[in-house]
Amino acid sequence: MSRPNIQLGREGGLKHFLTIDGFSRSLLTDILDTAESFTGVSERTVKKVPLLRGKVICNLFFENSTRTRTTFEVAAKRLSADVLNLNISTSATAKGESLLDTLRNLEAMHVDMFVVRHTDSGAAHFIAQHADPHVSVINAGDGRHAHPTQAMLDMFTIRRHKGEFTGLRVAIVGDVLHSRVARSQILALNTLGTSEVRVIAPRTLLPAEVRTLGVHAFHDLEQGIRDVDVIIMLRLQKERMRGALLPSEHEYFQLYGLTEERLGGAKADAIVMHPGPINRGVEIDSQVADGPRSVILQQVSFGIAVRMAVMSMALGNQAQGAVR
């Protein structure tokens, strides 16, 4: 007997957003459709809708972040929620307080949602399992495990440019071994019906079980991106590497760096993506990052709408069609 998905509420709607794993294509599509309804909010004079007025959302970041924390904060404020940003370096947790004690104290302040980023895989699941029943938890990245909202904003960007996922070839290039983003992207792409997902990296940067993930693995960049529709570049996660997995960054760029010349092997209308932060001259050349086929900055903008969608749906406000 399979265990119930703790991410779903009693009616089958979104309760927590911890991982793409276990979600249906229809639910992922609902998230994308709901995000679509929020894209126009940024163009308004007053960039707010009242869907989460009176709700309190706490950004609980145990790991440094700029884009993710900021876009979650902007998304929450555009939904009219009150936002708490906990500075972990000066919090009681840094003084020895347990994660559960921190959680209980914040719940006593009537927090409705925790947005959690943590260096340990499973931290967001742990908090979701121990939080009060009315509290929702969003995983903003945990260890090497998952980064589901980043994957969904990437899916939103792809759908905006390519329409349907069926028929697409998508290549993910770089440090797949240490990337929680790549794992979430692969799950989302396969769930949404992408025709082919490729991963391209040296053998030392691919997980041993890579072929069980539903991808085709390549070790040659030019061969791997041939005739693809979408290229997603990943940065080298040097902070998570143990041992000498690469000879040097310079040699890595010579073999796996995306240049204009190499981009010519992809389809003429292929788009280039990157979850950030970018290491120019390591995984991507500046001409490509700033070029006409790059949609990297659009990913950041779309991230606000996607996170608005996830927050509103998780707190029980079906926002689709409700933006006026």
**Local structure of 184: helix, strand or coil:** helix
Residue 135 token pair? 């509290």
CA 274 – CA 142 distance, rounded (Å): 19
Annotated catalytic, 34?
Answer: no
Please, where are the H alpha helices in 51-98? 67-78
Which of 19, 39, 68, 149 does the annotation list as catalytic? 68
Which of 3, 95, 242, 324 does the annotation list as catalytic? 95
CA 305 – CA 75 distance, rounded (Å): 7
Annotated catalytic, 293?
Answer: no
Which of 29, 67, 70, 293 does the annotation list as catalytic? 67
Which of 15, 144, 147, 180 does the annotation list as catalytic? 147
Annotated catalytic, 67?
Answer: yes
CA 218 – CA 64 distance, rounded (Å): 32
Annotated catalytic, 95?
Answer: yes
Looking at residue 42, the DSSP 8-state letter turns out to be G
**Local structure of 139: helix, strand or coil:** strand
Strand ranges across the sheet with 230-233: 216-218, 196-200, 169-173, 230-233, 271-273
Whole-Å CA distances, 76 to 48, 50, 63, 310: 10, 11, 20, 10
> With 0-12 CB in 10 A as exposed, 13-18 as middle and 19+ as buried, what is 242?
exposed
Please, where are the H alpha helices in 192-274? 221-224, 249-256, 260-263
Which of 15, 16, 55, 117 does the annotation list as catalytic? 117
Looking at residue 63, the DSSP 8-state letter turns out to be S
* Residues marked as catalytic: 67-68, 95, 117, 147
